[in-house]
Amino acid sequence: MEFILAILIGIFYAAGLYMMLRRSLVKLIIGLILLGNGANLLIFLLGRITKGLPPIISGESPVFLGAYADPIPQALILTAIVISFGLQSFAIVLVKRAYTVVKTDDLDQMNSTDQFS
Amino acid sequence: MLTAILTGFLFSLLLVFAGKYLKGKLAILSALVPLGLFIYFLQFVETIANGEIISQNVEWVPSFGVNLGFTLDGLSLIFCLMITGIGFLVFAYTAAYLKGHEYLDRFYGYLGIFMGAMLGIVLSDNIISLFVFWELTSLSSFFLIGFNNKEESSRKSAILALVITGFGGLFLLSGALILGSVAGTFTISEMLISKDLISESPHYIIIVAMIFVAAFTKSAQFPFHFWLPGAMKAPTPVSTYLHSATMVKAGIYLLMRFTPVLGSTEFWNSTLIIVGTVTMLYAAIHTLFRTDLKGVLAYSTISALGILVFLIGLGTEEALLAACVFILVHALYKATLFLVTGIIDHETGSRDITLLSGLRKVLFPVAIAGFLAAISNAGIPPSFGFLGKDLIYEATLHFGNSAIFLTALAIITNILLLYAGFLAGIKPFSGKLPENFSKVHMPSFLMWIPPLILAVLGILIGIFPSIIQESLIQPAVTSLGENGGDVLLKLWHGFNTILALSATTIGIGIMLYFLIKPTKKVEIAIEKLEFISPKTITEKFGDAFHYFSSLWTNLFQNGYLRHYVSTIILFLVAVMGYTLLKNTRYRLDYSSFTALTIYEVITVAIMIAGILYTVFTKSRLAAVAALGIVGLTISLIFVYYSAPDLAMTQFSIDTLTVILFVLVLYKLPKYLNLSDYKTRIKDGILSIAFGALISILALEVLAEPQSSEISEFYAENAYLLAKGKNVVNVILVDFRGIDTFMEIAVLTIAAIGVFALLKLRMTAKERITTENKK
């Protein structure tokens, strides 16, 4: 499974980057989301995946008795998912707003300030 | 002495506040500043003539051994008197020349800074402070050349001059630093003691070469001479003051100042002789092809500077004496000729030598000044110029084996210079007065008195050379390291070779003046050769540099987000890919991997299909839906692999994102394919390479052993310390509670942003602009 997940993460990254390189603003956001998902899975995988052993202490015992999945990557990813939602929602609304004002979503037509002649 | 130098700067500073009062009739008052300084320096003449040296030392940056040390000796004194004396006349002249000019105060400000800096150069005993003043003269020269800042050619010339002299300045700094470290001191007078140490040092050649570049750029020596004719775009007072009498002599001063320290070696002497000779001949020949009065004067100035470098290169006592005298001679007659040209330009509006003639009838006193200056320039007795020329021939004639050759070169140069001087000083005033100049009238006395004073001085000193013989020339020669005990300037040496040579020079020169008439045709013809001149080469180099830098900048700073991203990724892939290819074993340990089940395979298959669909679909809605599916399958993966909290979060967040997307979807732009086929293939290849890199990295990391100390700490203490059994939750709200708190803050800010953007209405004005864009 790890091998397949690693390949899957590669696909996420490749697709995310490809979408980010498009000129359309919407595709840029979708690329960002894909890349974020890939990063989450990467952290998850590198924390070593364990099947069926959630990091929850069961029963009356104050400590773990058997094996358990690593809680730290999970905590990190949880934070990442929530934060990336903040970013995504802001970006979506910003793109919508930018489109209403400048009437284009072609990134190439928006770069009037950054060019040196 | 520090006060004297600062006076110039303080004067400029004062003008910032009081400038507007100085633009009118009070402008003449500013001439009091150089006059005061001139009188101040005059009082030292006697002391210096007695062989004393006055010095003053002010600590500046003592930790680096950089002090504001000033020394006034014979050489410095000559320069100081020239700077302030000619300065006084130029300041007065300017009051009339630029009368009522909008930026007259600014002009005086630049002149004041220049004067202060120039005094700083000739008085500095510390080589670092000398460098600072050196650069200040370059800067003030830049502003003065570009004074007519609305003309493109002025601005271009100013930049060219700054680039060349600034370039030389950098060499001066590095030369000074090496010299200072070899000699163990930055004080010039202390370097004299360690002369042998310096000339035997392995760095001697480098030091001298750097000092040479500095001096040659400043004093317009071939092949750095070309900025000077361009600098003539400046108003005439500037050309007089900076570009003939004082600033361009700073390089000469530098060479003279270092003659006792670095001189008398094969490298020093032969380089200077060669460069000086080439410059004096090259520039002298060029005067034949000019029709602009200032152009003629510019090239003859370069030629005169070449003579000075040549004389310093000869390095004998006679040659150095000749150089000291010639500096004064040249300053007097060249300043006069420039001022005369300025008057002609000011009154007739033309500087074209082919058009000007007969002006003596309307500008008589000016004609006298021009005539006297031409006489002195030609070296016709009884002028001061005759003395100077004699000394030059004496120096070349007594120079060992190549005496005849060098004398011949000097004669040719002098003949051509004579021609140039006659062209500028006599030609405009002789002959018939053309109709259109008959209404030309005399300028204010402020303009014609200064050149007349200088011209008369040029004759007076020639008749009575004793005025300066012991008071100025002898101390100057002494400070060049020669004993100078028997300096004797006199007009009449009896009938000898030198007199014959002078007579030949004058005879041929005058013949040349009557034979050759400057025409536009010749000037145009010579311009065709311009493409191989050092000026063109430098400009081409500058253009190429500019072209290359804008190419480079546009390549990397092109304003396209995707180019930035692809550049970064490409670099990352290349660097990491190289390392991975070299150091990776590519050995997968399948036994350590968890087993596959059918559920997982299906989930992953759905996910891959979802990703591909998101990327390749042409519909926005389909893309968003597919993205939702991808999110949900991720949450399934989390479920399989013991992360229930993640699964729940992913599920809800994914749902929210899709909802938000759909809400604004129809207000979003159409999902167009904007890139062409080729770009997509290129991006695709880069993306796949990047994905592959991440996959390999992930597998490589998995092959390494994992450290789980921190996880164990949290797991063991979750219940004991925080009374929670869900370790992930305990980490988030307890162990890392502050982080989570921050995260909530970030989300709140994002939410406010989203709300504001959604509620924001366009103002009426914005709406109009958007309407127009449609």
Whether the predicted pLDDT of A117 surpasses 60 = no
Kindly state the tokens that stand for B19. Answer: 């400038």
Contact list, B550 vs chain A (CB under 8 Å) = 116-117
Residues B296-313 as b/e (b if ≥16 CB within 10 A, e otherwise) read: bbbbbbbbbbbbbbbbbb
Out of A44, A71, A97, name the one closest to residue B731 (CB).
Answer: A71
CB atoms within 10 A of CB A8: 25
Question: Which of A17, A35, A64, A102 to probe the B interface (max B CBs under 10 A)?
Answer: A17
Task: Name the closest residue on chain A to residue B774, using Cα atoms.
Answer: A103
Dist CA B682 CA A105 (whole Å): 22
Residue B491: what pLDDT? 66
Contact list, B634 vs chain A (CB under 8 Å) = 37, 40-41
Task: Name the closest residue on chain A to residue B641, using Cα atoms.
Answer: A51
Question: Which of B681, B701, B728, B758 to probe the A interface (max A CBs under 10 A)?
Answer: B728
Dist CA B229 CA B293 (whole Å): 11
Residue B486: what pLDDT? 63
Residue A87 forms part of a structural domain: yes
- Are the C-beta atoms of residues A46 and B702 closer than 8 Å to each other? yes
Residue A21 forms part of a structural domain: yes
CB contact under 8 A, B614 and A34: yes
Contact list, B678 vs chain A (CB under 8 Å) = none
Residues in chain B: 774
CB contact under 8 A, B675 and A23: yes
Whether the predicted pLDDT of A107 surpasses 80 = no
- B595 to chain A, any CB pair closer than 8 A? The answer is yes
Label residue B286 exposed, middle or buried (CB < 10 Å: 0-12, 13-18, 19+): buried
Out of B615, B649, B757, name the one closest to residue A19 (CB).
Answer: B615
Dist CA A65 CA B715 (whole Å): 11
- Kindly give the residue spans of alpha helices, DSSP state H, lying in B184-316: 188-191, 195-200, 204-218, 227-231, 236-240, 249-262, 266-287, 293-314
Task: Name the closest residue on chain B to residue A32, using Cα atoms.
Answer: B627
Q: Three-class SS of residue A68?
A: coil
pLDDT < 50: residue spans in chain B? 774
Question: Which of B629, B727, B742 to probe the A interface (max A CBs under 10 A)?
Answer: B727
- Pick from A117, A98, A87, A60: nearest CA to B762: A98
- Are the C-beta atoms of residues B425 and B371 closer than 8 Å to each other? yes
- CATH code of residue A88: 1.10.287
> What one-letter code names the amino acid at B61?
V
ipTM: 0.91
Residue A75 forms part of a structural domain: yes
Kindly state the tokens that stand for B129. Answer: 């402070």
Residue A14 forms part of a structural domain: yes
- B181 to chain A, any CB pair closer than 8 A? The answer is no
pTM: 0.71
Q: Three-class SS of residue B131?
A: helix
Task: Name the closest residue on chain B to residue A92, using Cα atoms.
Answer: B661
Residue A63 forms part of a structural domain: no
Domain count, chain A: 1
Q: Which domain holds residue A23?
A: 2-51+68-103
CB contact under 8 A, B596 and A1: yes
Q: Token match 């990134």: residue?
A: A107
Secondary structure (DSSP) of B46-65: HHHHTT--EEEEEEEEGGGT
Q: How far is B68 from chain A (nearest CA, A)?
A: 43
- Pick from B459, B464, B324: nearest CA to B383: B459
Secondary structure (DSSP) of B668-683: SPP----S-HHHHHHH
Secondary structure (DSSP) of B381-444: TTSHHHHHHHHHHHHHHTSSTTHHHHHHHHHHHHHHHHHHHHHHHTGGGSSPPPGGGTT-----
Contact list, A39 vs chain B (CB under 8 Å) = none
Residue A15: what pLDDT? 94
Q: How far is B150 from chain A (nearest CA, A)?
A: 22
Q: Token match 């009051």: residue?
A: B95
Residue A42 forms part of a structural domain: yes
Contact list, B728 vs chain A (CB under 8 Å) = 55, 71, 74-75, 78
B223 upstream amide cis, omega within 30 of 0 = yes
- Are the C-beta atoms of residues B255 and B319 closer than 8 Å to each other? no
- B737 to chain A, any CB pair closer than 8 A? The answer is no
